[in-house]
Structure 1
Amino acid sequence: MCGIVGYLGPGGNAAMLQRMNDSQAHRGPDGQGTFTDGELGLGHRRLSIIDVAHGQQPMTTKDGRFTIVYNGEVYNYLQLRAELEQLGHEFTTDSDTEVVLEAFAQWGVEAFDRFNGMWGLAVWDGKEQRLTLSRDHFGIKPLYVAQVGDTFLFASEIKSILASGLYEKKPNDRTIYRYLRFRIHEDGRETFFDGIERLEPGEALTVDASGVQRAPYTRLREELAELATEQRPYDDAAAADYKARLIEAVRLRLQSEVPVGTSLSGGLDSSAVAVIINQLLNQGDETTKESVGAQQNTFSAVFPGSLNDEEKYVDAVLDICRGHVDAHKILPTADEFKADLRDFIRTQEEPLISSGPYAQYQVMREATQHVTVLLDGQGADEMMAGYIPYYFVYLRQLRAQGATKAAAELARSLDVIYRLGRFKLKAKLKRQKGIPATQLMGSDFAQRYAGERYAVEGSNLKKRLIEDLFVGSLPSLLRYEDKNTMRFSLEGRVPFLDKEVVKFIFSLSDEAIIKNGWNKRVLRDATRGLLPESINRRRNKIGFTTPQGEWFMRLKNHFYGIFLSESFAGRPYFDQPEVLHAFEGWIKGTNDVDSMMFWRLLNIELWLREFFDEHDADQDAPVRIKTDLEANEGKELDLVTASGQTVRRYPLRTELFSREDDLDARVADEIDGFFKELDADPEHAAQLAGKRWYFFISEKIVAITQGRSYFIWDINVGRPARVLSKYVTRTPAGIGLGSPFTMQLAIQEAGLPRVLYASAGGAVGKLIGKRGMFYELVGGDIRAIDGPTEYSAYPSNVSAKLAPKDPDEVSARLSALIRSRVPAAYAQTFGGTVVMDANDIGRNVLGSDVAGDRTRFEEMFADNPLGQGGEQTPMAIVVER
């Protein structure tokens, strides 16, 4: 398995080709090569699997006419080689690459339909000055293309096209809409990058002086539809025939000079592959022994204690393979998912339908430590109706043939169908509110694409399966697998997508696929006696996924912070207030929006950050923790106030605060630490000696430790708060009563009548040009109520808080504590404590034990030298100089 890149046109050059090739080095760590011919450039990265010692690319025919870069495996290459040798072709390597090249030299584009395997390739015809690209019948291996001016680019990964420097990055808004609205992607040529397309399954593309032409090289889709009309009777002989074909498909995909293993999820499909390999080992099959070894390496993601854990099914397969298996179990966690999220999104290059493929990502990361090739069960669901919705398609088909047949099949499928509808039924019983996807989108964006539609075949089973094989389902799953395997320099192989095996299934009657409530009937019959009954007769499909709902609940603080972020708010794709409202409702269980919707929103945002937003080159560098004697980044220690006074501010860095903390004890520790540091630094000690100084503390941590800060999902927001908050002008940082949470707290503190009265007064004040009337009329410390802000450290980024209670008393108490702990000389010059509500918009002293005008303290914080975000400096020592 490899990676290919290239260009044709005046915009390319050797340096660009090398950049493109280097950007996908993970696809081929075993070697690289390039080839140029005038305005043509080809690049290749090699992962050596077959004929490791030879087969380097780019590879050119003896006559120098054809040159190939090729990513994939053609499993029937030995038969093709024999045929080509009879036609006079000579071979100098044992690689399938040379067979593919000579086949093209012999038959041209028609060669591709003879191949049974997976590939993305490019062939340059130096004589005709023509570039030909091809992708395998099912699109197992990727190939992306872009026309930039008069230069054509192609690559196995989008990253390489981005690395060319020619393509100007732009999101594809239509694809984003269809993804958010219909939960689909990869349903055609378009990608999420405007102007970058994918070659479709079974398609060839040529570029020459006449331009770019694209066309299918195969009639496989039409053949499957034609075979579906044959409806050959299904019986035990057909099941035995299928079993023999599947075993041969697995055996072919064990051809390798490097170690081969199996991805074992515990489902029917991957379990079938594992037990077939085990049977081949038991029979002494030489191909299997050479590639797999004495023991088959299996790799499984398990989630102990989660609803979708399949470990017991994995164990059942391992028990059958005992003595010939070396099992590896991977236990992905929510915290690992959070840590890997950026790399996972970068790896996939385009948004995914769910976080499920992260389980596969983790499996591949472990597998690469043991093997280079991995087989799995991908594709079986789409050809044998592995998903529950296929039952409905089949039932509609039967109903058209007669009510009796449909009723009989329905009666035997009720338990399966119920599993699909139980969550909707539960939501109805709970009277949970449904929220359409368009309600969470930016209104202009949603309106622009409101005419988009997505229809699927609903009443013909075989037609629907063909549709999902080539458009609706399988393409995205194959993309996930390719990206996850190649991220860790692995080759993934999918024996169920053997072209001849697929044709055989479609030639059988529909009863080979669904009968008496059992889907994948032919596979179940073929593996009876090979698989444990618990798997062969299993009806509750889970799939290779993560416990997404459980993980999202655990990571809700992190995800809420993303939804709350300034970048999310600024995208045209989202209605931030509606998204926040829906996410809060999901957390509380008051709506029936599922985690899949939130994943799509998150994925788009994180994808945009990764591929389109500017990145700080040092963003991954370790953060240096400042000392207490240094200013925060971008701030100064000294300030001249509006009154002409010079003051020095020392921000004190702390650990995060929670309501369980003892404020006095934490303050004592910080004061002790500061003066210990000061004692070791004579220069700064001189700045404080004999000077009046004060202790400033953020009102946030005072409120938190008083239990007056609340996670937003613990605040029961009423309709008045939601309505009133819409009419409040939010600051750039989102502070104030422009949030339903903070408005709800204001209503609870001041009462709804007073808030309504103050709101009316505030509206009048705006008309006459007088600002701040609302806060004057509402009274109390309502001004100090804060909502969640993205820049704040946890838990303030997911909390709303009231003003601290009795801030003057808190100040006096802390001052007494400080005087009792600092050296006598500093105790004599200590002026007192100030509880400050400060941000980049304004300053407000909420409490102090210092007599006199408090505005001078607000002047001391004119540039807000503290920070409760990454700085974590909610306290300061302030010196009058």
Structure 2
Amino acid sequence: MCGIAGYFGLESDHGLLERMGTAQRHRGPDDQGTFVDGPVGLAHQRLSIIDREGGHQPMATADGRYVLAYNGEVYNYRALRTELEALSHTFMTHSDTEVVLHAFAEWGADSFDRLNGMFAIAVWDRDEQTLTLARDQFGIKPVHLARVSDTDGGGEAWLFSSEIKAILATGRHQAAPNDRVIYRYLRHRVHDDGVETFFDGIERLLPGEMATISSRGLERRQYSTLQQDLAAATPPPTGAGPETVAAFREGLAESIALRLRSDVPVGTSLSGGLDSSAIAVGIDRMLTAHDASAEAVGHQQQTFSAVFTGYRNDEERWVDDAVAACHGAVESHRIRPTSAEMLDDLADFVRTQEEPTVSTGPYAQYRVMQEASKHVTVMLDGQGADEMLAGYVPQTVSHLRSLMARDRKAGIKEVLASRDVLSTVVRARLRTRLQGGGSFGELLSRDFKAAHADDSYVVAGGANLRQRLVHDLFVASLPSLLRYEDRNSMRFSVEGRVPFLDPNLVRAVFAMPDDAVIKDGWNKAVLRDAEEGILPASIVRRRNKIGFTSPQNDWFREQREYFYQVFLSESFASRPYFNRTEVLNAFELWLSNGGSLDSMAFWRILNVELWMREFIDPKPAAESAESAESVTSIEEPASVESEESAEPLVGSMTNAGKSLDLVLPDGSTVRRHPVRTPLVTTSDDLTKLVVDHVGPRLDVLGDGRAVSGSSFDRWYVFISEKVVATTQRRSFYVWDIPVSRSARLLSRHVTRTPAGIGLGSPFTMQLAIDEVGLPRVLVAAAAGGVGRLVGRRGVFYTVAGSDVRAIDGPTEYSVAPANMSAKLGPKDPSTVAATLSTAIRAAVPPALAATFAGTVVVDANDLGCNVLGTDATTPVGRLEQMFGDNPLGQGSQQTPLAVVLDSVRPQPDPQDAAGSHARPTTGLSA
């Protein structure tokens, strides 16, 4: 197993090849090599499995015409070698790589369908000046392509690689999201179903596809007829008997034996399900029979399982049964992942997969491969059995539809036999209708949905079992599972092999009667019959399929804070894909066991955000690591993020886009000096914090002459209500607010403000209900509705009162943890202001104390300013004008305080001395 990469159409560039190889070094840490000839460069990373001493790549034929970079294993290489030797080919190594090279030299592209295995091939023909790429019949091994500009920028060139990271590492392709693929993933839950990837401009070869690149351009075509042959198969509906079962058992055993060929240790991935258990006991039978095919396994089989003790989907009891069914020695390795470990691994898991996954299930496989890498280099897995033998409920539904259409009596009989399986579908649909809670489409932004309104997804073969199985094998299901397996195994330099995906075995199954697939309500009928008496009935006749998955529902509830942290982040709010308010509301509803959405819906949303952060956002790696660390160490709610420096902001240090000076409507001028503070928490002494940080600010003003000796006659301290509420313990993480049904309903009828502030979320609405009572909120809501009808705005808050008006929800522009908190207004803000003023006057020089006009508690944002409380005698209207453009920055600027200098003498503006609106002066912006 290896990693391949390279280019066509560029000048010689060994540095580029080395960058590509380094980006996927984990795929092949044992050896590396590069090759350059004319317009072509090849890079190879080798994981040595067969003929560890030989097989160095890129590998050339003796005459130098063909050069090969190859990723995979061809299991029938010995038979092919014998055939090629009869055609006068000579071999210098014992590797399958050399067989693949000579096969291409002999048969060209026709050689690919002769290969039984998994492979991604790049072969350069020096004489024809063509580069040929090919992917195995099932697409087990990946090949990615990107068209780029050539060295001169006037023509086109091509990059190819096993992993997308290698293409990005060249610096010749800028990572950008493919919005169509993102939409289909989010809306229809599909991915890996075509040539497009999540990266705009990067494509994949499809299963059984090849590409030829030359000076004439790129040509793609299917070399394999496997998919068409399976689709055209027309076996009889019934007739599977003992000979069918024996043929299947023999075919599976032969496939397993081929995939045990290795010069390094081989292990088994064991979930406890039928498929992986069949492989484990198959290997055991070879070991106990002293079959030479199992030599690489060693004296005892090593199995690797992920188990989840205490969770509903724990399969350990079936793992125990499978191990007990083995007669030889078995060393059973079991890992027990936790939700906390998943968070620790999440960034690496997203990097590993390169594209979003449909659930967290592949994380369990990721951890299994991580553990396996400590003991073995090759792992056999059960992928593919579900797709070829109808392991999923929708395939059973397709079978029943086609059977009912063909033979109603037989169809009714099969429906009755499958009633327990079908009942799960019926219950799920009933639950969705009864619970309501909206559709996934409501969580997407209006513009994003409109842009892709014509994009739909229809499952092929909906009423035909065989067509449905072919669709799942090559389009709908298996391609994504194979991607998961490839990335997870190769991340830890492990080769994953899949015995069920032997072309000969799959062809044999599709030639069997339908009742070999589904019979008497049992799917995988021929596999169950083949394992009868070999595996225990607890596995053979088991109904509740789980597979390699994770306790996703439970984990998401355990780590709800993490989800909120992501959904409330500024980056998430800036994405063009989501309606953030609806996402938050739906997630809260799901946590309350309501709504029709499931945990996979929220995983898809989270996964897109994490993928964007990892691959698309222009962000240094160190900053990414710091961000990942912060989400697992949330402290108590606070108003701003702390910094080592607590220097006040002055002059050119003022908040970006804000002016120091402001001309008021009466022509007078005020100057605002924002003051930076550290993180404000519930344990802080507000009075001490204000005095400690206002004092240094006043040192800049001297002994009072900056006020009394200038055009400014008095000064104030303005303070954000957020820090007051925080120190009064009136700030709460959203997940700590128990939301009622009333709050959930009422919040949906509140107009959302552009800044996301107000009662448009169930969290803030619940605080309003708790603060003033449900009856008053209901009356205010009714009054607000009437007000809208007659064109009056703000009636709701007039009736609800200032305490409700001051409630703030989490806002994306605030830094963590303020962006995850909802806050009540401060209690008795005028009393707080008077207390602070007394302390300030006692702490400053007499001259400054004499000109100090008081403290003002404000609810200020970019939409305006409301004075909540003050001990100043200045009219409230004037105080609010002083903050008409909100110079404070309570997010990353960390300035919840301001010293404000006020001039009562008019400062006329020659252009508009009597302007009707407060506005910043020109030329005074710092």
TM-score, normalised via structure 2 length = 0.82
Which AA in structure 2 matches 1:237? E
| Residues 653 and 874, structure 1, Cα contact 8 Å, conserved in 2 | no
Q: Is the 8 A contact 1:361 1:485 kept in 2?
A: yes
2:822 to 800, 804, 816: 800
Matches within 5 A, 1:167-246: 167-229=173-235, 233-246=239-252
TM-aligned CA deviation for residue 372 of structure 1: 1.5
Measured in 2, the distance between the counterparts of 1:178 and 1:36 equals 39
Which residue of 2 is the match for residue 662 of structure 1? none
Distance 1:628 1:146 in 2: 46
What is the CA deviation profile of residues 728-764 of structure 1, one whole-angstrom value per residue up to 9, with x for unaligned ones?
A: 5x24x42235556546755774544446656877999
The residue identity in structure 2 corresponding to 1:651 is T
Distance across 2 between alignment mates of 1:324 and 1:183:
42
1:714 aligns with 2:739: yes
1:399 partnered with 2:404? yes
Work out whether 1:578 is the aligned partner of 2:578: no
Whichever residue aligns with residue 191 of structure 2, its letter is H
Question: Which has the higher mean CA deviation after the structures are superposed, 106-115 or 561-570?
Answer: 561-570
Q: In the alignment, does 2:444 pair up with 1:441?
A: yes
User: Contact 1:375–1:494 (CA<8 Å) still a contact in 2?
Assistant: yes
User: 1:376-775 residue pairs with structure 2 within 5 A?
Assistant: 376-428=381-433, 431-433=434-436, 435-451=438-454, 452-620=456-624, 626-627=643-644, 629-630=646-647, 649=675, 651-653=677-679, 657=682, 666-667=683-684, 699=722, 702=725, 706=729, 709=732, 711=735, 714-717=739-742, 721-722=746-747, 724-726=749-751, 730-731=753-754, 733-737=755-759, 739=761, 742=764, 749=772, 751-754=777-780, 757=783
Indicate the larger mover: 521-530 or 101-110.
Answer: 521-530
**Aligned residue runs from structure 1 range 803-822, under 5 A:** 803-808=825-830
Cα displacement string for residues 800-843 of structure 1 (whole angstroms, at most 9, x for unaligned residues): 332133344567789999999x9xx9xx9999987664556666
User: Which residue identity does 1:443 align to in structure 2?
Assistant: R
Equivalent-residue separation in structure 1 for 2:782 and 2:231 (angstroms): 67
Please name the residue that 2:43 is paired with: 43
Aligned to 1:265: 271
For 1:201 and 1:495, the matched residues in 2 are separated by: 17
In structure 2, relative to structure 1, the CA distance for the partners of 1:7 and 1:713 (3 Å cut) is: farther
Residues 688 and 247 (structure 1 numbering): CA distance in 2 closer, same or farther, change over 3 Å? Answer: farther
Assess if the C-alpha contact under 8 Å between 2:301 and 2:329 holds in 1. yes
Asked if 2 retains the 8 angstrom alpha-carbon contact of 1:715 and 1:741, the reply is no
Alignment of 1:18-417 (within 5 A): 18-148=18-148, 150-229=156-235, 233-289=239-295, 291-321=296-326, 324-417=329-422
State how far apart, in whole Å, the 2-side matches of 1:81 and 1:844 are. 84
Instruction: Report the CA distance between 1:70 and its aligned residue.
Output: 0.2
Letter in 1 for 2:6: G
Contact kept? 2:730, 2:825, Cα under 8 Å: no
SS of the counterpart of 1:725? coil
Q: CA deviation at 1:700?
A: 5.4
Matched-pair contact (CA < 8 Å) for 1:704–1:801 = no
Measured in 2, the distance between the counterparts of 1:212 and 1:320 equals: 52
Q: Which moved more, 1:474-483 or 1:305-314?
A: 305-314
Find out whether 1:788 has 2:775 as its counterpart: no
Distance 1:789 1:650 in 2: 19
Map of 1:661 onto structure 2:
none
Q: Which amino acid aligns with 1:59?
A: M
Structure 2 distance, partners of 1:269, 1:240, is 17
Aligned residue type for 1:229: P
Separation of aligned partners in 1, 2:885 and 2:355: 44
- 1:549 offset after TM fit, Å? 1.9
Letter in 1 for 2:684: V
| Contact residue 718 and residue 900 of structure 2 kept, 8 A | no
1:597 Cα shift?
A: 2.1
For residues 527 and 615 of structure 1, do their structure 2 counterparts lie closer, same or farther at Cα, with a shift above 3 Å needed? same
After TM superposition, give the deviation of residue 795 of structure 1 in Å: 6.3
Q: 1:52 to 1:834 in 2, by over 3 A?
A: farther
Partner of 2:710: none
Q: Aligned partner of 1:667: which letter?
A: D
Secondary structure of 1:327's match? strand
CA contact (8 A) 1:174 1:449 kept: yes
Deviations 1:65-110 (A, max 9, x none): 0000000000011111111111111111111100000011111111
| Cα displacement (A) at 1:544 | 1.4
Write the letter of the residue equivalent to 2:99: V
In structure 2, do the counterparts of structure 1 residues 448 and 810 end up closer, same or farther at CA, with 3 Å as the change threshold?
A: closer
| 2:134 partner SS | strand
Identify which range, 370-379 or 115-124, moves more after superposition: 370-379
2:684 match: secondary structure: helix
Name the CA shift for 1:803/1:360 in 2 (closer, same or farther; >3 Å).
same
CA displacement, residues 375-423 of structure 1 (integer Å, 9 cap, x when unaligned) = 1100010111111122212212221232221122222211122123323
Q: Secondary structure at the match of 2:123?
A: strand
Structure 2 CA distance for partners of 1:187 and 1:328, relative to 1, 3 Å: same
Q: Percent identity?
A: 49
Shift of 1:575: 3.2
Deviation at 1:171, TM superposition (A): 2.9
TM-aligned CA deviation for residue 357 of structure 1: 1.0
Letter in 1 for 2:812: E
Conserved 8 A contact 2:382-2:499: yes
Residue identity in the other structure for 1:440:
L
SS in 2 for 1:186: coil
Unaligned residue ranges in structure 1 (runs of 5+): 658-665
* CA-CA distance at 1:508 after TM superposition: 1.4
Q: 1:866 to 1:524 in 2, by over 3 A?
A: same
Distance apart, 1:491 and its partner CA:
0.9
The one-letter code of the counterpart of 1:781 is: D
CA displacement at 1:182 relative to structure 2: 2.2
TM-score norm. by structure 1 comes to: 0.86
Q: CA deviation at 1:139?
A: 0.6
Question: Aligned in 2, Cα 1:318/1:683: closer, same or farther, shift over 3 Å?
Answer: same
Secondary structure class of the residue paired with 1:147? strand
Look up the SS of the partner of 2:29 in the other structure. coil
Amino acid at match of 2:190: I
Counterpart position of 2:634:
none
Q: Secondary structure at the match of 1:651?
A: coil
Q: State the Cα distance separating 1:237 from its structure 2 match.
A: 2.9
Structure 2: which 5+ residue stretches go unaligned? Answer: 149-154, 628-640, 663-668, 705-714, 902-926
Which has the higher mean CA deviation after the structures are superposed, 783-792 or 356-365? 783-792
